[in-house]
A and B are shown apart, each in its own frame.
Chain A
Amino acid sequence: MISNILILAAGEGLRLLPLTSDNPKPLLEIDGENTTILDRLLQQCRKYLPGIPVKINIGFCAEKILFHFSETLYLDRPIFLYEKDILGPAQTLVQLSRIDIGRTLVIHGDLVLSDEGFYRFVEFAKSTKSQVIVCHERPRSQARSEVICSLNQRKMERIIEYSPKNNQLDLNTKVLVSSGIFIIDFSKVSSFNAEAKQPLSPDLLNFINHEKMDVYLWSEWRYAIDSIAALEEVRFKLSSNT
């Protein structure tokens, strides 16, 4: 079972400047009704994983996130993990492994996920005791890294980062990439030596993959808000849904 949920929301959101010049990316509104990226993720966690403590790590514009949650009922509020200096996701996990040990759902705080997809993923998560990496398909031309799986695609072998020599590969081929959602056993993380601002994958995930993470293939819609275009797309998507 999942013992904790961690939403990563400490980053500076540089790819969304100027929208994030004085506002953290997870607080960007996505539906015209004041729902933020973070609100939606938290609502989904409460709905599909009720009773499991949610922690949010905060750093850049941390006070804005704290004041944002002051408007919510105190029973619905997460626990906060404040980083004075931005650690980066890998080091955040290493530090957290010294506070908490358990099977933790880690979600990047810039993801907008379909309810259906979240529900299906949780059902899958309940069915396995392994660590999990959530993946989706992407043309190789748009991927920065690739999740290499066993032949039946149920276990991760490793993640590789693309380098210029990979340009010789067929760029139209679809590959599996990390979706920014993981279930990690924190007892496996504590001895990893993360550097400041190091991303989650691939080094950390390869390090903790000795027992082979399950691969969950996300097939419903999802958006990583890594550009203003993606933000506009998700706003359009959600306005169409309503």
Chain B
Amino acid sequence: MRMNDNGVGIFLDADGVLWPDTGAGGILEGLVEAKRRLRILNQILERRENVFIGVVSNQTLAARAAIPFEDFRLEVFSTFNRLQEDSLIDDFRVCFHHPNANYLPLRIDNCSCRKPSPGMIIDLIKSHALQPSHSLMLGDRITDVLAARNAGLNEAILLLGPRMLEANISVQSRHWGSLIQFRIAKDFSEFLEILKWWIKNDK
């Protein structure tokens, strides 16, 4: 992947990437930290016109019936809209579904959007005419890596953490290929260092 190519997409997970993973409601407190991290990312990229920054996020707090769905949806969209208004991201997609949701309208077993399904990434690729072969995904779970692979992205980078290889396998088995290829980064700061190196060396 070369950062100077056209149609480069950088896809970011939200919980554990834009802000620390504190559970399903992390987004409610995550805006300030997300802005801080994304500002640095944008500085490093010098906001290149050829590089798209997108967020693809599973948000399950409402599915767990911990908060009314409409309230949560507004909160989530408000957060990502503000990042978009500040030109820190170009676009986002959110999946509110969960196969075991307590809130039944969100209980969907095989939606095309919930990662590791590639639906959210593919939708952004189509909407913004991106090149999967010039794009990467950063996530903190193996399901993010799987979504990237299922969408045909060139690179997937996994942030290290105690739950990085966790996945609800019984539900998601159809998405598991036999070999899942990725690189690792210790944390978001190190991801930025890797990105800097790629840009400097035209990788």
* Residues 147-203 of B contacting A (Cβ, < 8 Å): 158, 160, 164-165, 169, 176-186, 190, 193-194, 197
CA separation between A69 and B190, bound complex, in Å? Answer: 13
Contact of B179 among A62, A69, A95 (CB under 8 A): A95
A-side contacts of B186, CB under 8 Å: 70, 74
CA separation between A75 and B198, bound complex, in Å? Answer: 10
Residue B142 lies at the interface, judged by CB distance under 8 Å to chain A: yes
CA separation between A96 and B176, bound complex, in Å? Answer: 14
Please report whether the interface of chain B is mostly helix, strand, loop or mixed according to DSSP: mixed
CA separation between A63 and B159, bound complex, in Å? Answer: 12
Interface stretch of the complex, out of A22-30, A78-86, A182-190: A78-86
A-side contacts of B190, CB under 8 Å: 74
Which chain B residue lies CB-closest to A78?
B183
CA separation between A5 and B176, bound complex, in Å? Answer: 24
Which chain A residue lies CB-closest to B149?
A99
A99 touches B184 (CB 8 A): no
B165 touches A63 (CB 8 A): yes
Determine how close the nearest CB of chain A comes to the CB of B43; give it in whole angstroms.
Answer: 20
Which chain A residue lies CB-closest to B176?
A84
CA separation between A75 and B200, bound complex, in Å? Answer: 13
A62 touches B165 (CB 8 A): yes
Residue A55 lies at the interface, judged by CB distance under 8 Å to chain B: yes
Interface string of A65-93 (1 = CB under 8 A from B): 01101100011010111111001000110
Which chain A residue lies CB-closest to B142?
A82
**Given A70-B186, A75-B197, A84-B169, A99 and B160 contact (CB-CB distance below 8 Å):** no
Residue A201 lies at the interface, judged by CB distance under 8 Å to chain B: no
A74 touches B142 (CB 8 A): no
B179 touches A82 (CB 8 A): yes
A-side contacts of B179, CB under 8 Å: 57, 81-83, 87, 92, 95-96, 99
CA separation between A81 and B142, bound complex, in Å? Answer: 12
A-side contacts of B183, CB under 8 Å: 77, 79-80
**Given A66-B160, A92-B179, A95-B177, A74 and B165 contact (CB-CB distance below 8 Å):** no
Determine how close the nearest CB of chain A comes to the CB of B188; give it in whole angstroms.
Answer: 13
Contact of B184 among A66, A81, A87, A95 (CB under 8 A): A66
Interface string of B40-74 (1 = CB under 8 A from A): 00000000000000000000000000000000000
CA separation between A82 and B177, bound complex, in Å? Answer: 10
A-side contacts of B158, CB under 8 Å: 66
B178 touches A83 (CB 8 A): yes
Determine how close the nearest CB of chain B comes to the CB of A96; give it in whole angstroms.
Answer: 6
A-side contacts of B164, CB under 8 Å: 63, 66
Which chain A residue lies CB-closest to B145?
A82
B160, B164, B182, B184: residue with the most chain A Cβ atoms closer than 10 Å: B184
CA separation between A96 and B180, bound complex, in Å? Answer: 10
A91 touches B184 (CB 8 A): no
CA separation between A219 and B177, bound complex, in Å? Answer: 39
Determine how close the nearest CB of chain B comes to the CB of A227; give it in whole angstroms.
Answer: 29
CA separation between A81 and B177, bound complex, in Å? Answer: 11
Determine how close the nearest CB of chain A comes to the CB of B157; give it in whole angstroms.
Answer: 10
A-side contacts of B165, CB under 8 Å: 62-63, 82
A82 touches B160 (CB 8 A): no
Determine how close the nearest CB of chain A comes to the CB of B176; give it in whole angstroms.
Answer: 6
A-side contacts of B180, CB under 8 Å: 81-84
B142, B164, B179, B182: residue with the most chain A Cβ atoms closer than 10 Å: B179
B-side contacts of A83, CB under 8 Å: 178-180
Contact of A70 among B176, B184, B194 (CB under 8 A): B184
Instruction: Identify 14 new A-B residue pairs, CB closer than 8 A, beyond the known A74-B190, A75-B197, A95-B179.
Output: A66-B160, A66-B164, A69-B184, A70-B160, A70-B186, A80-B181, A81-B179, A81-B181, A82-B145, A82-B179, A84-B176, A87-B179, A92-B179, A99-B179
Taking Cβ atoms with an 8 Å cutoff, the residues of A that contact B are 55, 57, 62-63, 66-67, 69-70, 74-75, 77, 79-84, 87, 91-92, 95-96, 99
Taking Cβ atoms with an 8 Å cutoff, the residues of B that contact A are 142, 145, 158, 160, 164-165, 169, 176-186, 190, 193-194, 197
Q: Which 3 A-B pairs have the closest CB atoms?
A: A95-B178, A95-B179, A82-B180
